[in-house]
Amino acid sequence: MTATEFGQLVRQRRDRVTPEAAGLPAGGQRRAPGLRREELALLAGISVDYLTRLEQGRAANPSEQVVEALGRALRLGDPEREQLFHAAGLVPPGHGTVPGRITPSVQRLLDRLSNTPVSVSDAMFNLLVANPLATALFGERHGKERNALWRNFLGGPDERVRHTPESQRALDRAEVSALRATARRYPADPRIPRLIAELRAGSERFADLWESGEVAGFESGRKTIEHPQVGPVTLDCDLLSVAGGDLRILVYTAEPGTQDAERLALLAVLGTQSMAVD
């Protein structure tokens, strides 16, 4: 298909998905029943400008990651997902590569935890989806910023997440160890050696840990986020895994009755209001 046909397909599917079906607030009266461009862009982790150019046929050759993200945000089943990939001139990801599909059960989990920040990443640490509260908490991330390894080792200090030297070292060791395990599980995925090469070339911290062969695991802990509107929020951070899908689910919760819980509740209101703007 042409870029125009791909854009028309995305627009048709966007018009068909209601905010409620996508896990978003309805936001009062709407001129059309489907998702707004701003909402689809937020759910897919791309800019509104890029989505507009895709829909209007002014942007060609979207990446596999972008097409996968659009398919998830539009709640496409397997046949429609394959149609979207073919429309973009791409072959749907197959066996031997890091899976990036959000299963319906995981999507339902995200929808039901609307008052809890939740994000889902693949085994390469690519952010697949974050619910609106997680996006409000950490900010929108585009392009390479959606990869946690890239952000940690190449993207510079995270302005929102507060780290001690000890917690930073623990995070470094755990991420590198997990990537090493991913490389063993998916030796046929060409994206993994490209990511490793980029990280080794750009980060001495990563290169040293990669060469060391050190093994470390993730532990549940607490994380303080410096939010520009509600102030510092300290939350428990738990990592859940999905059997068979190799997905990483991060869930952030506040202890009830604390100032952190109050600030998180305030952020949920602020985030809902921003999503309701037409």
In this predicted structure, what is the pLDDT of residue 203? 97
In this predicted structure, what is the pLDDT of residue 235? 96
Q: Is there a contact between 186 and 93 (Cβ–Cβ < 8 Å)?
A: no
pLDDT at 278 over 60: no
How is domain 104-275 classified at the CATH fold level? Beta-Lactamase (3.30.450)
Phi, psi of 28 (to 5 degrees): 75, -155
For 118, the enclosing helix (H) or strand (E) is strand 118-121
Least confident of 92-106, 125-139, 195-209, 245-259: 92-106
Cα first-last separation, the chain: 32
For 237, the enclosing helix (H) or strand (E) is strand 231-242
Question: Where are the domain boundaries for CATH 3.30.450 in the chain?
Answer: 104-275
Output b/e per residue, 205-220; b: 16+ Cβ within 10 A. Answer: bbbebbeeeeebebee
In this predicted structure, what is the pLDDT of residue 276? 46
β 161-162/127-130 pair status: unpaired
Residues counted in the chain: 278
Mind listing the pLDDT tens digit for each residue in 69-119?
899 889 888 788 888 988 898 877 766 788 888 887 888 888 888 889 999
Question: Where are the domain boundaries for CATH 1.10.260.40 in the chain?
Answer: 3-87
Sign of CA dihedral 104, 45, 255, 25: negative
How is domain 3-87 classified at the CATH fold level? 434 Repressor (Amino-terminal Domain) (1.10.260)
Kindly state the tokens that stand for 118. Answer: 């939740």
Strand partners, 120: 129, 249
pLDDT at 40 over 70: yes
Torsion angle in degrees (nearest 10) through CA of 91, 95, 98, 99: 80
β 161-162/247-253 pair status: unpaired
Phi, psi of 76 (to 5 degrees): -80, 140
Q: Is there a contact between 103 and 40 (Cβ–Cβ < 8 Å)?
A: no
Q: Quote the CA–CA distance of 137 and 161 in Å, as a whole number.
A: 10
In this predicted structure, what is the pLDDT of residue 118? 95
Mind listing the pLDDT tens digit for each residue in 126-169?
999 999 899 999 998 888 999 999 999 998 877 799 989 999 99
Residue type for position 216: A
Q: What is the mean pLDDT of residues 165-182?
A: 93
pLDDT at 257 over 80: yes
Q: Quote the CA–CA distance of 196 and 202 in Å, as a whole number.
A: 10
Q: Quote the CA–CA distance of 162 and 225 in Å, as a whole number.
A: 6
pTM of the model: 0.71
pLDDT at 1 over 70: no
In this predicted structure, what is the pLDDT of residue 272? 53
Q: Which of 162, 169, 13 is nearest to 80 (CA)?
A: 13
Least confident of 79-88, 128-137, 177-186, 251-260: 79-88
pLDDT band at 29 (very low <50, low <70, confident <90, very high): low
